[in-house]
Structure 1
Amino acid sequence: MSLAKDKPLFETPAHYEEDVHAWAFEQARLLRLGRFSELDLVNVIEEIESLGRSERKSLRSSYRLILTHLLKWQHQPTLRSRSWSITIDRERRNVERDEKDSPSLAARADEIVAEAFELARGDAAEETGLAISVFPETSPYTLDQLRDRSFLPE
């Protein structure tokens, strides 16, 4: 542990409502020093829970983009573009990284994909100009297909 981390990063104590960034570093410093009675526990707990929600939201967003682009790829073959395939590949790499970093989210991927598909279906309809009824109500793609960097529907 570095001695520099024992010293406050900022001159004056930060308050959660005024500067979350400075507050977070102050809370980390207090944790490192074992000064638990000085922690802003209510807000530390809120931030930890928020972090978990953010990780889930990020994974859902990546699946949403994959699904939207796969639906467009499948339903508008004459408009397929390099941009669509690049987006699909990038988001698959994001999914791979996020699920590796958070195996508990990977275990809930079916549920997350179901949520993402509801959004992706609407996105695909809006972006293609096709009626929403053209798109299936549930994902036609398996979890393995969504993660497979070589899969594209025909």
Structure 2
Amino acid sequence: MDLKLKYEQDFQQWIEHHITLFKEKRLTELDIEHLIEELEDMGKSNKYELNSRFTVLLAHLLKWQYQYKQLQDQWGTFTGGSWRGTITEQRLQINKLLRKTPSLKRYLADTLIEAYPDGLKIAVAETGLPKTTFPEICPYTLEQVLDENFYPDSF
């Protein structure tokens, strides 16, 4: 059986076959090259998810801080419920990811810094406010971003 061909044609079958090989301790038959590739991709996937969650969270924290009061004054009944829901969801998913993969904690500070420019772009696009309205660097600490009770003061 050509494992490389199976990998390219039917990934699920390739996985199932490798599970069998591992269980039967037939390690010499493993497709090492593709196993390494898949393991590396798994690590990248977790980091990508963390970055993506921070990006959305930061965008919503910025919107909360820089547009919430304006919309509340304008509409009177605006409560930011959807924003609050998104902020809560991102924090829950980040915490779940960190529980499942505790080693990601060492990337938190860098990920916060890396995610901010994209979060800023989203906030600018969604609020219509000039980019100069917002800070160039992340105005929140890691602790604030992850704190379920933290909502920045509105201007």
Aligned counterpart, 2:60: 69
Provide the C-alpha distance between the structure 2 equivalents of 1:138 and 1:26, rounded to a whole number of angstroms.
48
Provide the C-alpha distance between the structure 1 equivalents of 2:97 and 2:105, rounded to a whole number of angstroms.
8
Tell me the number of residue pairs that the alignment of Structure 1 and Structure 2 aligns.
Answer: 143
Provide the C-alpha distance between the structure 2 equivalents of 1:113 and 1:22, rounded to a whole number of angstroms.
38
TM-score (norm 1): 0.87
Aligned counterpart, 2:143: 144
Aligned counterpart, 1:130: 129
Provide the C-alpha distance between the structure 2 equivalents of 1:126 and 1:19, rounded to a whole number of angstroms.
41
Provide the C-alpha distance between the structure 1 equivalents of 2:138 and 2:12, rounded to a whole number of angstroms.
39
SS at match of 1:71: helix
SS at match of 1:76: helix
Provide the C-alpha distance between the structure 1 equivalents of 2:117 and 2:9, rounded to a whole number of angstroms.
37
Q: State the shift of 1:88 in Å.
A: 0.4
Q: Deviations over 1:102-139 (max 9, x none)?
A: 22211220001111111101111111111222211111
**Aligned-residue RMSD, C-alpha:** 1.6
Q: Which has the higher contact order (CA 8 A, sep 6+)?
A: 2
After superposition, residues 102-117 of structure 1 pair within 5 angstroms as 102-117=101-116
Aligned counterpart, 1:40: 31
Q: State the shift of 1:143 in Å.
A: 0.7
1:93 paired to 2:92: yes
Q: Deviations over 1:82-112 (max 9, x none)?
A: 1110010011011111112222211220001
Q: Structure 1 residue runs of 4+, over 3 Å off?
A: none
1:121 paired to 2:120: yes
Residue segments in structure 2 that go unaligned for 5+ positions in a row: 72-78
Give the number of the structure whose residues are more often helix, by fraction.
Answer: 2
Of stretches 14-23 and 51-60 in structure 1, the one that deviates more from structure 2 is 14-23
TM-score (norm 2): 0.86
Match of 2:8 among 6, 13, 17: 17
* % identical equivalent positions: 37
SS at match of 1:108: helix
